[in-house]
Amino acid sequence: MARILNIGSLNLDYVYAVPHFVAPGETLCAASRQVFAGGKGLNQTVAAARAGAKVYHAGAVGPDGDMLLKLLEEAGADTSAVEWAGVPTGHAIIQVSPQGENAIIILGGANRSISREALDRALDIAEEGDILLLQNEINGLDYIIPQAARRGLRILFNPAPMDESVKNLPLGLIDTLVVNEGEGQALAGDMEALKAAYPKQNILLTQGSRGATLFAGGETVFQPAFRVKVLDTTAAGDCFLGYYAAALSEGLPYGRALLLATAASALAVQKQGAAPSIPCRAEVEAFAQANSR
């Protein structure tokens, strides 16, 4: 069984309930404040760990990051490769209106200050054939990708949040590019153009309520979404990718990996929150068995 190394983001989300978004020059009193663990990296690690994989999380937090490490460890992940940085933990300031709309300010913080030495120590954990999870919320991707490829790691890269910097990364070295339809269009236009641009890569396309499609060489595998009542889609994509990586680490075939990942995300969207909504493996197996068609 292969191991999973996730060099990924660790965020604190500060959520303020406000009567309306703050206007220029205005001082506004919030009705409440809640603090949640977040970050695409954290969510994906929690999902892979709850799926039963052996997961190592690498990254960086500031002095205020204890709750994030505790959550990862409770999920079963190894956090020994997380670096303590001299800057604040990455975080988001989120205003939420009574209508449920939000306005968000993000500070990369420690996620954007991971040292080269910490990256090397993290990569030293993994062995040839292990899986590396990456997202676009940390620094050093232009260094990590070629180093990981040289070591024979299987790289799964989710370029979210998508920006122009992604186009300059050595994407030809990764194994699987994981995108939603908007990200795929931003990278290359339509799906045929994306496949032509990265002919040696597997492309995993998440399609929301329609399901997910994997293009792997000459093989196309489609997994339809399960019909469920959606309460909160936060972290659904991260849950999907974490479970997919865990299934690959077990050597499961693509179809089975997509089934488990889709079932996990279907369970996640029926609960509030990000990491708290991610299900354990037994729940996912039972749901998949009961609802597969």
List active site positions.
Answer: 238
User: How many CA within 13 A on the CB side of residue 1?
Assistant: 10
Q: Are 140 and 9 in contact (CB under 8 A)?
A: no
For the chain, what is the total number of helices (H) and then of strands (E)? 9, 13
What are the start-end ranges of the H helices in the chain? 40-50, 66-75, 116-125, 141-150, 181-188, 191-197, 236-249, 254-268, 281-291
Give how far the C-alpha of residue 18 lies from the chain's centroid of Cα atoms, to the nearest Å. Answer: 28
Region of residue 140 (left: phi > 0; alpha: psi -120 to 50; beta: else): left
- Cβ of 203: how many Cβ atoms within 10 Å? 22
User: How many CA within 13 A on the CB side of residue 238?
Assistant: 30
- Which phi and psi angles does 12 have, rounded to 5°? -110, 130
Torsion of CA 164, 169, 172, 175, to 10 degrees: -100
